[in-house]
Structure 1
Amino acid sequence: MKGEVRRYRLDEKNGTLVTGGNGNGGGLNQLNVPEYLFVDRDHSV
């Protein structure tokens, strides 16, 4: 697991990094074994 969340638009292959991407961990720029993800009506994670 890369410890990141990506947004994919139609016909997009690589996606855009939304959060994480710095390995697993408890830092402010890391995710630590996430189980759920919530996106609100404004498309905020």
Structure 2
Amino acid sequence: MCQKCGCPLLGSFHADHVQPFSKGGWTVTGNGQALCGPCNVTKGDRYE
């Protein structure tokens, strides 16, 4: 399930950084969330 909009993630998802990598976020499990493609593209490198 997409952690932003709640849609089912059927087969593929985007592994997103909660704190954006470009803004110092680490690539660790605690800073990750599964998003659908449209939500991840919309989020970009912003905190949400």
* TM-score strictly above 0.5: no
Task: Pick the structure with greater CA Rg.
Answer: 1
Q: Give the TM bin, normalised by the shorter chain.
A: under 0.3
Structure with greater helix percent:
2
